[in-house]
């Protein structure tokens, strides 16, 4: 499939940001991976009910400033992975929803981290690997932010992209039928597109790095390495 463009992604998710009261019920998006609005899982009892008693062993909280859960919040058997990430400021959210808004961009007292959405991409792989480890042990994972339409959606999508070798648009086509409130903000959408590009590129050694590795392998008696090193030297 062709690389995902921002326009194609937004055509699929819809151009208008859903409201925080979107009403989507908790759901197992892909096997073993759940998401929910925080008000549906803000106690241990609600978490158990929302996930129908699934063996939740890891909760990824990507809205630390708004959601109180930390390790121990859901009891001793549930680890909470803390991702310190801010979404778009409220005036941008209101603008996207067609509501009246007043910008605070000229207010010097507004902290830098609250002026725009943060960097989700730096944690995509770490979160995905943590999810894989829990699934491999037989546990389930729940990923949330406040309304679970932007921050947590970005982590669900990046995990599906990485583990299923899908483009962003393909991953969205897997997730949105289960979780209609899927709407990573514009900055997260572009970070997901960058992540798609990174996942699509196999690691490339420089000629110097490759030569060094092959020399080391040849010295250990690897016949294939000797042949590859010879070929590389002839190309030089």
113 token code pair: 């981290």
| DSSP 8-state class, residue 113 | G
Write out the two tokens for 41: 């899982």
Domain 6-200 has CATH 3.90.15.10: no
Question: Which residues lie below 8 Å from residue 227, measured CB to CB, with a gap of 6+?
Answer: none
d(CA 108, CA 102): 15
Q: Please name the residue that has the structure tokens 């790095």.
A: 209
Phi, then psi, of 170 in degrees rounded to 5: -65, -40
* Residues forming a β-bridge with 143: 35, 60
Q: Which residue has the higher pLDDT, 167 or 201?
A: 167
Domain positions in the chain are: 6-200, 206-236
Question: Predicted confidence band at 26 (pLDDT cuts at 50, 70, 90)?
Answer: very high
Residue carrying the six token digits 């992540």: 195
Task: Provide the pLDDT confidence category of residue 21 given band limits of 50, 70 and 90.
Answer: confident
Q: Is the pTM of this model over 0.85?
A: no
Structure tokens at 144: 């949330």
**Mean pLDDT for all residues in the chain:** 85
In the block, residue with structure tokens 């400033």: 65
180 burial type by CB count under 10 A (0-12 exposed, 13-18 middle, 19+ buried): middle
Is 61 within 8 Å of 82 (Cβ atoms)?
Answer: yes
Spatial distance between the Cα atoms of 102 and 180, rounded to a whole number of angstroms: 28
The mean-pLDDT minimum among 127-136, 149-158, 178-187, 222-231 falls in: 222-231
How far lies 232's CA from each of 90, 204, 207, 212, 213, in Å? 56, 15, 9, 11, 12
Tens digit of each residue's pLDDT (9 = 90 or more) over 160-174:
999 999 999 999 999
> Nearest Cα to 156, choosing from 139, 140, 172?
172
Question: pLDDT at residue 37 above 60?
Answer: yes
């Amino acid at each position: 499939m062709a690389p995902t463009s921002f326009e194609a992604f937004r055509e699929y998710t819809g151009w208008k940001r859903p409201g925080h009261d979107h009403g989507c019920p908790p759901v197992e998006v892909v096997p073993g991976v759940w998401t929910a609005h925080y008000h549906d899982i803000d106690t241990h009892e609600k978490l158990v009910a929302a996930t129908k008693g699934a063996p939740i062993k890891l909760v990824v909280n990507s809205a630390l400033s708004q959601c109180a859960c930390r390790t121990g919040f859901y009891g001793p058997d549930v680890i909470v992975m803390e991702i310190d990430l801010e979404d778009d400021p409220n005036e941008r959210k209101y603008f996207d929803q067609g509501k009246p808004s007043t910008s605070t961009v000229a207010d010097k007292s507004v902290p830098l981290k609250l002026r725009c959405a943060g960097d989700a991409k730096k944690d995509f792989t770490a979160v995905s690997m943590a999810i894989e480890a829990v699934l491999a042990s037989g546990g389930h994972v729940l990923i949330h932010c406040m309304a679970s339409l932007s921050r947590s959606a970005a982590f669900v999508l990046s995990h599906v992209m990485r583990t299923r070798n899908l483009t962003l648009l393909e991953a969205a086509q897997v997730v949105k039928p289960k979780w209609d409130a899927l709407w990573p903000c514009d900055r997260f959408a572009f970070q997901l597109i960058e992540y798609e590009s990174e996942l699509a590129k196999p690691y490339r050694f420089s000629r110097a790095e490759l030569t060094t590795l092959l020399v080391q392998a040849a010295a250990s008696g690897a016949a294939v390495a000797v042949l590859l090193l010879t070929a590389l030297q002839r190309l030089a």
